[in-house]
Structure 1
């Protein structure tokens, strides 16, 4: 084939050009036939080259349902999330106590530690104050225990109530050579002063006539002999996403309530109405650990999130 030249200006001969065109066409025909009959050939080659061979994705990135032999299986929701497992797989509240709760006694604390854990009301201390009386009605009060037929109760002054730390405490009250035992179920706001107890009328009447109105007393904390077991109640509206937890029937004052999380134990904040709150739902439905003012710890498992239901644990703090 001839090509234009800057030095040659004469036109090529016709027969030479014709032969060149025929040669080019022949070469093109041969190349086309070779491509067309090549195995796997054709125009789809360019597009198919970008597609992976079937099955290659499985070996490179196994799905959750079909892991490869070399890949570690993904943990299930129950093993990855203790909170989810607690609310979904806890045994029913009717299970035997031994299957649902276990008691673990902490190392006996020093006196100073006990005092710090106990707050204002401490074991072995005698307090002085006055006693007044009030009509307890159905027995409910600031501690949120609910109605009760137990009339040997009292309301603790705000200072010693100490954001519900006094709730459930048993105290011995002494006056004029007489003594009674009452349980703290309520708060007595101002003008009640530190050391003062507002007794139920029935309890007051065992120490002095109701007409006395106000009497001098001394009182001290007790760890009574009781056959009752501790119960747990979730607050109305509780779910796995938000919950309030309350301990009922504990022999000794409660110092701390914790819930188990994926990272360990988390202490919940105590409210003035005697519930421990988990605002973000952390630990709701998981194991619960109670600590009394003496340092004894009870680990309770198997308590499902059932709002406003009282669930027995089958365990109790040691008598001191």
Structure 2
């Protein structure tokens, strides 16, 4: 007699059948919903009570703000560094060793010094160029035969031999012309000179080519080349500014020069029917009116501190020095 199995018999699996009508109905409802969404006017998803996101296309021609290189961050990108405009002839805590001693005339001084250091302080003058007041510059001094005192600044012969030629970089298209400079040697000796000339290469930024008479007050001429520091001055003076029209000037073309200004001249303007017109400055220190604009009319002079002086009654008289009886304030 066979024994019965202890395993429980597997219950029979029953399949529950879903009526065909129900399946068809559900499919129809899904199809209707899909058609309604697909044919919405905006053609995208919307934000409704269910919190779904809405996709919006930008209007044609609309600008896009924000950085294209970063998303999800606030603030503007870091600005690009600006190129330095500081004069390479000024001192900024660096010490340089001058090159070998050499002598020569303006523009022919032998040897090259190490690059002068950067500026130690910034000047407060709003119109100052490479040379700013209140700033000490380090360079070298050489000497040259100043002759009758005339030079690139076109001031003409002078009996004042305490003069100097400024290196081309700091001469800055004659912007240094007429500037008074206090020069100090390492020995402690000092001298005040007026810039009347330009010293081209091999003169370097920071270098002064002094008249022999001026150099001799700092060191023996045999020294040839010495290390100096120098800075702008706004000296006491009883002189007033004069105006000179260049040879060949007429009412149709003129060159205008200011002489004897206490502080370096930043610009010269002529008055026209449209207002004040700034004239271009040449490297020989005349301001040119190529079309004759303002020739013989009122002039406006501005120094590097921003002070303005208006001068009237100066007729076009070529190569004649005419006094204005005005002067810039001392600083």
What secondary structure, in the 3-state scheme, does the structure 1 residue paired with 2:170 have?
Answer: helix
* Contiguous gaps of at least 5 residues in structure 2: 1-120
Q: How does 1:58-207 map to 2 (within 5 A)?
A: 114-115=124-125, 117-175=127-185, 176-207=187-218
Output one character per residue of 1:33-57: Cα deviation in whole Å (capped at 9) or x when no partner: xxxxxxxxxxxxxxxxxxxxxxxxx
Structure 1 residue 152 displacement after superposition: 0.1
TM-score normalised by length of structure 2? 0.62
What secondary structure, in the 3-state scheme, does the structure 2 residue paired with 1:277 have?
Answer: strand
1:234 to 241, 245, 256: 245
For 2:166 and 2:274, the matched residues in 1 are separated by 37
Does the Cα contact within 8 Å between 1:128 and 1:219 map onto a contact in 2? yes
Does the Cα contact within 8 Å between 2:123 and 2:132 map onto a contact in 1? no
For 1:133 and 1:213, the matched residues in 2 are separated by 7
Structure 1 residue 117 displacement after superposition: 1.1
1:255 to 261, 266, 272: 266
Does the Cα contact within 8 Å between 1:245 and 1:276 map onto a contact in 2? yes
Structure 1 residue 222 displacement after superposition: 0.3
What secondary structure, in the 3-state scheme, does the structure 2 residue paired with 1:240 have?
Answer: coil
The aligned counterpart of 2:34 is none
For 2:128 and 2:152, the matched residues in 1 are separated by 20
For 1:116 and 1:135, the matched residues in 2 are separated by 35
2:314 to 289, 303, 315: 303
What secondary structure, in the 3-state scheme, does the structure 2 residue paired with 1:118 have?
Answer: coil
For 2:240 and 2:294, the matched residues in 1 are separated by 23
Structure having the higher helix fraction is 1
Structure-2 change in CA distance of 1:269 and 1:154 (3 Å)? same
The aligned counterpart of 2:326 is 315
Question: Which structure has more RCO (C-alpha within 8 Å, separation ≥ 6)?
Answer: 1
Does the Cα contact within 8 Å between 2:126 and 2:305 map onto a contact in 1? no
Output one character per residue of 1:121-153: Cα deviation in whole Å (capped at 9) or x when no partner: 001000000000000011100000000010000
Output one character per residue of 1:186-237: Cα deviation in whole Å (capped at 9) or x when no partner: 0000000000000000000000000000000000000000111000000000
TM-score normalised by length of structure 1? 0.65
How many residue pairs match? The answer is 210
* Contiguous gaps of at least 5 residues in structure 1: 1-110
For 1:227 and 1:129, the matched residues in 2 are separated by 31
What secondary structure, in the 3-state scheme, does the structure 2 residue paired with 1:130 have?
Answer: strand
For 1:309 and 1:241, the matched residues in 2 are separated by 18
CA-based RMSD = 1.3
Moved over 4 A (4+): 111-116
For 2:129 and 2:283, the matched residues in 1 are separated by 15
Does the Cα contact within 8 Å between 1:130 and 1:195 map onto a contact in 2? yes
Does the Cα contact within 8 Å between 1:114 and 1:295 map onto a contact in 2? no
